[in-house]
Amino acid sequence: MRCGVRLFHLLLILVFAACGTPVYAQVTADPALFEGFRAADLRLATAGYRLSTANAALCDRLEPGHGIQVHTLDQYAPALRPAVAAHFRFAGALAVEGVVSGSPAERAGVRPDDTIVRFGDIGVAPQADGPASTDRLVAFWSAVAALSPTAPIRVDLLRAGVPLTVTIQPIPACRTRYELAITAALEASANGDMVRISSGYYDSFHGDLPVAAIAHELAHNILRHRERLKAVGAEFGLLSGFGRNMGFFRQVELQADTLAVHLLARAGYPADLASRFRQHPVAKARSGMFQSPSHPHWRDRLRVALAEEARIAANGPGAPFVAERDLPLTGDWRPLVPKP
């Protein structure tokens, strides 16, 4: 599964500059900091891999599910690259940050800190100087997503300077990459190709509760909500909560809430995860006077979660709205909220 573009190099610069401490010296002196970010990324990558592979049957856009979490030297600020290269043992521009437990990559023998020389027919260009950029990472994942979701992938690696070749037998996965943003703010979004969630979710919600938000965003991608909103001329941003826009956005939010409960069930998460997430004090507080009218009230969203959990308990998980993902949005959101 894809998990990638991080902003923590920017956070480090801001934090240590504010403290009057040289960035390079502080980073090299604190390897635990890098390991903390590795763990945070792997947590998201694991949830994304689990959701995307378990729900592949619902997705018409697939990629090879392999379980490698990749990072590049390019994405780090130039001042941090020597420390990053030393800590993560980069021997090139692209390396394995982590491996999802039980994934095809783990079974093939891929390990954290392996440097990727070639992935299938995808080569890796030498490292170049320049400002921090995610261009290489995004291009790499786009090329990987275009590979067959089931064909074996030969991967050439360097491990401690020694060449190594492994063959990964991927499994089909929904075509979505997962991005972690290091910020205390609660931010989650989906653009059709990517699910982005902030580390603030992991700070505010315990255990598996953040996975409910991840599943909601994946549901948006599965149902092609962003492109369907554009197709009906819905306006994003501040105008999303007004006029006809509000109906379209509430419709897609409630559809994603509904499908997300089924995605969680298919992936083997606790049956009440979605409803516990909606009842969490932080989730309730976000549905107050400062919330955009484009999003339903938390009570409506809780009713959806409880109704779908009861439906799944009686009949097993389904695929609500998947058969309608090629149809235009109507903006008729009220029938999607179960009556009290």
Tell me how far apart the alpha carbons of residues 58 and 192 are, in angstroms, rounded to a whole number: 15
Average pLDDT, the chain: 89
Tell me how far apart the alpha carbons of residues 107 and 113 are, in angstroms, rounded to a whole number: 16
| CATH fold for domain 2-174 | Pdz3 Domain (2.30.42)
What's the pLDDT tens digit per position in 214-273? 999 999 999 999 999 999 999 887 667 677 899 999 999 999 999 999 999 999 999 999
Tell me how far apart the alpha carbons of residues 340 and 330 are, in angstroms, rounded to a whole number: 24
Predicted model pTM: 0.89
Of the pLDDT bands very low, low, confident and very high (cuts 50, 70, 90), residue 37 is confident
As given in the structure block, the two tokens for residue 58 are 């619902």
Q: Is 234 exposed, middle or buried (0-12, 13-18, 19+ CB in 10 A)?
A: buried
Q: Find residue 156's DSSP bridge partners.
A: 118, 165
Domain boundaries, the chain: 2-174, 207-336
**β-pairing, 194-198 with 177-181?**
parallel
What's the pLDDT tens digit per position in 315-334? 999 999 999 999 999 999 99
What's the pLDDT tens digit per position in 177-195? 999 988 899 999 999 999 9
CB 210 within 8 A of CB 46: no
As given in the structure block, the two tokens for residue 174 are 């929904």
Nearest Cα neighbor of 158 from 90, 222, 218, 245 is 90
Lowest mean pLDDT among 25-34, 49-58, 90-99: 25-34
Of the pLDDT bands very low, low, confident and very high (cuts 50, 70, 90), residue 23 is very low
CB 11 within 8 A of CB 40: no
